[in-house]
Amino acid sequence: MRILLVGAGGFIGRHLHAALRAAGHRVQACARCPDPAAPGDWCRLELAELARDPQAFAWPEGIELVINAAGLLSTDRNQLHEVQNRGACALFERAAAHGARVLQISALGAEQGADTDFLASKAAADHYLLGLGIPAVVLRPSLVLGPGAASSRWLQRLSPWPLIPLLDNRARLQPLHVDDLCGAVLALLQRWPEQPCSLALVGPEAMTQDQLLDRLRAAQGWGPGRYRELPRALTGLGAAQGERFGWRALNRQTLKLARRDNLASPEPLAGACGYRCLPLEARLHDWPSPADSVRLALQPLTLALLVVIWLGTALVCLGPGFDWGLRILAEAGIGGWPARLAVIGGALFDALLGFGLLLPRWRRRALQAQILLMLGYTALITWLLPHYWLDPFQGVGKNLVLLPVSLWLLWLQPSHARSRP
């Protein structure tokens, strides 16, 4: 079958792309920023542009099925409706005009009257599609887990800790592995429903967040965790700040979703195409891995500590430690205004490096500069003031610990950040 896969660069899209190709389908993959190194045929498609100009996309020949796996995690209401509603509807109209079937990957809870912008925009597109009168299926999955998902990374990051804070510990959900989503899509292609319909895609077991985390911990060889529900006042304040700064993990939408059940019956999907999701633990073999989870847990912590060290050093050098810095330079034979300039300049440069760590765009350069600076400091002290190696607090020797920490963080920077000038 010739398939147009929209959103092929996302988490679900990447897994669907691989599964469809493995099943022998011819896939035309579409993404906002196609990866030229990815296998298969790729083209650029931006749903926001399609919403503004439905003819902006050149429709490929011979498309029999359109799968819309595009989604947007955003706190911007207008952006959500432009991409997930108007852009998706423009895509459906183009599919109808070319006689193609449509499979819309929506979200569980995206019904009429949905009370979050994310679900409301999905619901509006779903309703429009089912009213077009073309062969169409709206697939509404629960929380989909697997390597590469933003929500999965967040759960992995929480899983290693001995005491885990949760937004809410009462709401239940029916998570499933991304392999089951791919399996359900392939089953629908084999047994397409006779009438347009929406189908929930859920795991066989309802569980709370702590039970879900315990499944992930068990898959990594750890025992049950200890959990504490965060105070509502604190989570409300955090959600308000997340709304203001555009945080994806914590905002008013995610808080509202975390506080209510998100359940459905698996029977309609089983009746339509015969597919049932496996229990989650049956899928947790190669993912998650303890090494990846520990890395995800420690990366923001070590980054925060480095920021504190560099900004703290700057404040101390400009404040109570200023005279101490002058005394150290005097031991090296540097005094007067050159010494004062060196202390002030060094402190300001330390502050610049600390702030650079806070900005993803400059983080790689800041880490590189920190490594070079620590090597330079260590070399100069070894040459001019070697007795500081005998300091019982080992102020110089601690650079040997900070260096590999900085290198580790540098190596973990994503590939797109590495390629930036």
Q: How do the domains of the chain map onto residue ranges?
A: 2-288, 297-418
With cut-offs at 50, 70 and 90, classify the pLDDT of residue 419: very low
3-state secondary structure of 344: helix
Q: Is the pLDDT of residue 244 over 60?
A: yes
Of residues 396 and 249, the one with the higher pLDDT is: 396
CATH class of the domain at 2-288: alpha beta
Q: Distance between CA 239 and CA 80 in Å, rounded?
A: 18
Q: How far is CA 37 from the centre of its chain?
A: 21
- Give me the mean pLDDT over the 184-203 stretch: 97
Contacts 24+ apart (CB under 8 A), 32-36: 33/9, 34/9, 35/9
Provide mean pLDDT across the span 210-223: 96
Alpha carbon distance 67, 101 (integer Å):
9
pLDDT band at 418 (very low <50, low <70, confident <90, very high): very low
Q: Among residues of the chain, what percentage have pLDDT more than 90?
A: 70
- 417 — pLDDT class (breaks 50, 70, 90): very low
Q: How far is CA 252 from CA 150, 169, 232, 258, 303, in A?
A: 17, 17, 12, 10, 26
Local confidence band at 420 (pLDDT 50, 70, 90 cut-offs): very low
Asked whether the predicted pLDDT for residue 45 surpasses 90, the reply is yes
215 neighbors 281 (Cβ within 8 angstroms) = yes
Answer with the residue of higher pLDDT: 418 or 220.
220
Q: What is the rounded distance in angstroms from the CA atom of residue 83 to the CA atom of residue 98?
A: 21
> 347, 392, 357, 186: which is closest to 269 by C-alpha?
186
The model's pLDDT over 57-73, given as tens digits with 9 standing for 90+, comes to: 999 999 999 999 998 87
For residues 226 and 169, give the distance between their C-alpha atoms in angstroms, rounded to a whole number. 12
> Given a cut of 80, is residue 330 above it in pLDDT?
yes
The 10 Å CB-count burial string (b at 16+, else e) for 80-112 is bbbbbbbbbbbbbbbbbeeebbbbbbbbbbbee
Angle at 20 between CA 16 and CA 24, to 5 degrees: 170
- Is residue 306 within 8 A of residue 399, CB to CB? The reply is no
* Structure confidence by residue, pLDDT tens digits, 104-151: 999 998 886 677 888 999 999 999 999 999 999 999 999 999 999 988
Q: Write down the pTM of the prediction.
A: 0.86
pLDDT of 384 over the 80 cut: yes
Triad 359, 118, 109: Cα angle to 5°: 135
Burial class (CB in 10 A: 0-12, 13-18, 19+), 344: middle
Is pLDDT of 210 > 50? yes
User: Is the model more confident about 381 or about 243?
Assistant: 381
Quick: pLDDT tens for 298-320: 999 999 999 999 999 999 999 99
pLDDT of res. 390: 87
**For 178-186, what is the mean pLDDT?**
98
Residue 181 has pLDDT above 80, yes or no: yes
Mean residue pLDDT of the chain comes to 91
* Three-state DSSP state, 43: strand
pLDDT at 33 over 80: yes
Q: Tens of pLDDT along 258-308?
A: 777 889 999 999 999 999 999 999 999 889 999 999 999 999 999 999 999
The region of weakest confidence among 6-20, 84-98, 240-254 is: 240-254
